[in-house]
Structure 1
Amino acid sequence: MNMNLNKLDPLSRRNFMEKVAKTALGVTLLPVGSRAVQAAAGNGPGFGKAKHVIYLFMEGGMTHIDTFDPKTGSTKGAKDPIKAKSGSGNLDYLGGYLPKLAEIGNKIAIVRSMSSKTGVHESGRYIMRTGYEPRGTIVHPSLGAWGSHFLGRIKDVVLPDSVTVGGGRHPGAGFFPPALSPIPITSAEAGLQNIRPTTTEDNFQKRVALMDEFDSAFRKKFNANTDVKAYTEFYSETMKLLKSEDLKAFDISQEPASVREKYGAGGFGSGCLLARRLVEHGVRFVEVQLGGWDMHNTIDTAMTNNGETLDTAFSALIEDLESKGLLESTLICLGSEFGRTPDVNQNDGRDHYPLAYSTVFAGAGTKGGYVYGSTDKDGRRPADKQASPQDFVSTIGHAMGLPIDEVVMSPSNRPFTVGDKGTAITDLFA
């Protein structure tokens, strides 16, 4: 598997590999799987419509002024805003770097009134994935892990519940069992590596049979041991995964060249294409990261590069999911750790700015061409309907059909909820 072990949360190398293996095979089904489904009635618009989630994380702190909350006054971006198609919604303009998204503005909903308390990268990334401020004594679960905890495995799906694409540190399963962690894929182009037998099928089966013979007495003697039972389940599911045709979902080279070109060159476009393929094969939660947003210098040059990358891949993802009939059941959400200063600095860049920023939603019943909340004329503060990272995480959990108010006790006997008591923004959903 192509991944960077040094960037993952503290586990020994051996335990980490066990964690990844168990995640890939979906062992450990928790007994609360049907609660959210049973609670579906009466939970407000959009509840449970997202059978899949694709989270586009803009790492570094995305400038709201130059993307989804453009201004025309003294804090305007280097490019003039573009009029966006809104259908019957209230969306007006997008940043001048996003022409393709402006053309399909009637398919996205924007929260322009986000505000956070942290301007530190690590804290911002953590809170936008968990809804919690980081604490040294505990790691909180990310949304994919919450989904696995409450909803269980998706029936008849061999692939893992959750995948992250693009590297970077991630809270993963948090205090939940390691089996609920996402599989990290550093490179979408490389996909999963070293997953096919290096010998003939006949020799492989002989080796499997020999290993079974050696292990059978041990498993029988220690069958009551939790770790041994987990290993036995892991072993069984490993064989199932290795024989599954669904592993091809990780191979984006199987897509026609015309499709790959539509998503754009580079890792983020490939990551979005991989996310679509994984959703097609039943994966519940996929996060795709795009770095390069820490634009302290020359905002125009930086935005020209990142803007085109985001515009091309995000718009292609929406249109591709729609063409395959998957957009109504897939929530695409875009977030970042914070925004950037409305005023440019002496280096023609923008600095960290948590007081105001934007997030974006599409699919799974979201209102197209809709804007929730606003900032003041210069983009410095929310003017109305202020929303927090907790609200953002809770909104995604709500769309997934999670009981966001249900208290879950951690192993240290502390109470937690999805999104730390945030309020789902149900106005985003039709």
Structure 2
Amino acid sequence: MLRTAQAALGVSVLSGLDKSFAAAEPAPAGTGGKAKAVIYLYMAGGMSHIDTFDPKTGVTKGYKDPIGTNVSGIQLGGYMTKMSKMADKLSIVRSMTSKTGAHQEGNYMMHTGYDRRGTILHPTLGSWAQHFKGRSHPSLPSSVTIGAGSANAGFFPTALAPVPISSPQDGLQYAKPTVGEDMFKKRLSLVNEFDTAFRDKFRSPEVRAYTEFYDETINLLTSKDLEAFDLTKEDAATRQMYGNGFGQGCLLARRLVQSGVRFVEVTAGGWDMHTQVDGAMERTGKGMDTAFSALLTDLQRTGLLDSTMVVLGSEFGRTPDINENNGRDHYPKVFSTVFAGGGVKAGYVHGASDKDGREVADKQVTVQDFIATIGAAMGLPVSEVVMSPSGRPFTVGDRGKVVSELFA
């Protein structure tokens, strides 16, 4: 259908806007959620908890000493020099645990709350939110992934899938007509003329959805809201504050939620640090430190932090002990995630690992709890059972327990 639209009208949009299936009717939203939008910062590869948000001073310390923060009693890893000034905005969970230390399985679970299975695809949080709450904006998508994110709707209709953006600098590519306005209108008129008889004869939901696709495409093409994807609208100082690569993705995320997109995921790779963890942290860790701190600063400056929850996570942690290659290996037994804004407590640490970062010592949080907590923050009815097309029951976070202690 996308190729048909491009050939017939001279347009192209991404598959996340495909309306070949009708979206589900929104169900009543849950109560208590303060987050109107969520930005999920995903550290792909397995972020070292000890070198970032759960530093140690003993045999597992690593290459840098812990550093103090602007909250008494909270320390961060030595690479987190900018985030150390943001601790008064954070809720740090130091007691995460997962059942898998494999990348694909862990990544899938940290996006869906479910084990990866060959028989079904589970929705990610942006799709769950659109199912329950409907569209968040009349022309912009309700959810977006920036980088190598998980852009699928699971067992929901494809219309609920996030729109994938591969490069924040390029934004939403191919979203402008490739022909002039007069030719565009002429082609649209011809398409409507050819399709009228078919639409009149076959009045099915699928055919109606096909027509809606063209209507929404045109709406998007002619909307000034497309500027939300254009980073050149930001001043040079703001763009520089965020840093490169992942940082520009965070800036785009801020622009999108500011414009009405409900859920944005930004992925940063480079965290699979089996060798030379010190050098890798100097590059990847400090890039995250710069971007995360800039995002929180910018959200506060624009008045969005109270209504936007920022979440940072990874598929697992890394081994407390440095290996023979001066790196750290996969470690799902205990790791850290971070929450900020959107109604969560500030300057708070939830749970703990033991003195060497090897085991959960207090207030264990599962991946299912993590997903359910984000859903609850968005006001989703996380305990409500939704039946898949195959007749199987599912909930947001696979019946995980909401970590209510995180909320102010």
Structure-2-length-normalised TM-score: 0.94
Which residue in 2 is equivalent to 1:173? 153
User: Which of the residues 27, 31, 44 maps onto 2:25?
Assistant: 31
SS in 2 for 1:334: strand
Give the partner amino acid of 1:59: A
Q: Assess if the C-alpha contact under 8 Å between 2:23 and 2:157 holds in 1.
A: no
Q: Which runs of 4+ in 1 moved over 2 A?
A: 17-23, 26-33
Structure 1 residues 407-418: aligned runs within 5 Å: 407-418=385-396
Q: Which amino acid aligns with 1:209?
A: S
Q: What do residues 42-89 of structure 1 show as CA deviations (whole Å, max 9, x unaligned)? A: xxxxx3111100000000000000000000111002111110112xxx
Find the counterpart in structure 2 of residue 66 from structure 1: 51
Q: Which amino acid aligns with 2:70?
A: K
Q: Let me know the Cα RMSD of the aligned residues.
A: 1.7
Task: Give the Cα–Cα distance (whole angstroms) in 2 for the partners of residues 121 and 292 of structure 1.
Answer: 13
Query: 2:26–2:130: 8 Å Cα contact kept in structure 1?
Result: no
Q: Percent identity?
A: 59
Alignment partner of 1:247 out of 221, 226, 249: 226
Q: Tell me if structure 2 keeps the 8 A contact 1:91–1:371.
A: no
Q: Distance in 1 between matches of 2:48 and 2:239?
A: 27
Confirm whether residue 149 of structure 1 aligns to residue 131 of structure 2: yes
Measured after TM superposition, the shift of residue 27 of structure 1 is 8.0
**Structure-2 residue corresponding to 1:98:** 80
In 2, Cα distance between the equivalents of 1:138 and 1:18? 23
Which of 98, 101, 121 is the matching residue for 2:103? 121
Amino acid in the other structure paired with 1:237: E
- 1:361 matched to 2:339: yes
- Residue 115 of structure 1: CA displacement? 0.7
Paired with 2:201 and 2:15, the residues of 1 have a C-alpha distance of: 24
Q: Aligned equivalents of 1:218 and 1:157: distance in 2?
A: 27
Structure 1 residue 21, shift from structure 2 partner:
2.8
CA contact (8 A) 2:151 2:162 kept: no
When residues 328 and 157 of structure 1 are mapped into structure 2, their CA distance, relative to the original with a 3 A threshold, is farther
What is the CA distance between 1:202 and its match in structure 2? Answer: 2.3
Deviation at 1:19, TM superposition (A): 4.2
Instruction: Measure, in 2, the Cα distance between the counterparts of 1:116 and 1:160.
Output: 31
Distance in 1 (alpha carbons) for counterparts of 2:111 and 2:275: 27
Question: Aligned-pair distance for 1:322?
Answer: 0.8
Determine if the alignment matches structure 1 residue 425 to structure 2 residue 407. Answer: no
Bigger mean CA deviation after superposition, 142-151 or 206-215: 206-215
Aligned to 2:93: 111
Whether 1:56 and 2:52 are equivalent positions in the alignment is no
Please tell me the residue identity of whatever aligns with 1:55: Y
* 8 Å CA contact retained: 2:23, 2:160: no
Asked whether the equivalents of residues 340 and 353 of structure 1 are also in contact (C-alpha less than 8 Å), the reply is yes
Cα 1:157–1:281 shift into 2, 3 Å:
farther
Letter in 1 for 2:250: C
Does the 8 Å CA contact 1:164/1:287 hold for their aligned counterparts? yes
| 2:25 corresponds to 1:20 | no
SS of corresponding position for 1:333: strand
Paired residues of 2:99 and 2:332 also in contact (CA < 8 A): yes
1:25-424 equivalences in 2 (<5 Å): 28-33=22-27, 35-36=28-29, 39-40=30-31, 47-86=32-71, 92-154=74-136, 156-168=137-149, 170=150, 172-222=152-202, 224-265=203-244, 267-424=245-402
Q: Give the SS at the match of 2:190.
A: helix
Contact 1:404 1:419 in 2 (8 A): yes
SS in 2 for 1:314: helix
**Residue pair 1:408, 1:416 contacting (<8 A) in 2 also:** yes
- How far residue 196 of structure 1 moved from its aligned partner, in angstroms, is 1.3
Could you tell me whether the CA contact under 8 Å between 1:91 and 1:105 is conserved in 2? no
Paired residue type of 2:160: L
Change beyond 3 A, Cα 1:206–1:91 = farther
Letter in 2 for 1:64: H
Distance 2:297 2:212 in 1: 39
Distance in 1 (alpha carbons) for counterparts of 2:190 and 2:200: 16
CA shift, 1:309, in A, is: 0.4
More displaced, 64-73 or 76-85?
Answer: 76-85
SS in 2 for 1:163: strand
In structure 2, how many angstroms separate the alpha carbons of the residues matched to 1:113 and 1:239?
Answer: 48
Q: Distance in 2 between matches of 1:210 and 1:126?
A: 44
- Counterpart-to-counterpart distance in 2, 1:181 and 1:200: 30
Q: State the TM-score, normalizing by the size of structure 1.
A: 0.90
Deviation at 1:210, TM superposition (A): 2.1
Write the deviation string for residues 226-261 of structure 1: whole angstroms up to 9, x where unpaired: 221110111111111110001111111221111100
The answer for unaligned runs of 5 or more in structure 2 is: 1-12
Whether the 8 Å CA contact 1:141–1:171 is kept in 2: the answer is no
* 8 Å contact from structure 2 (residues 17, 141) kept in 1: no
Cα deviation, residue 18, structure 1: 8.1
Contact preservation (8 Å) 1:404, 1:417: yes
Q: Which amino acid aligns with 2:237?
A: S
Q: Distance in 2 between matches of 1:410 and 1:30?
A: 11
When structure 1 is superposed on structure 2, of 197-206 and 342-351 the one drifting more is 197-206
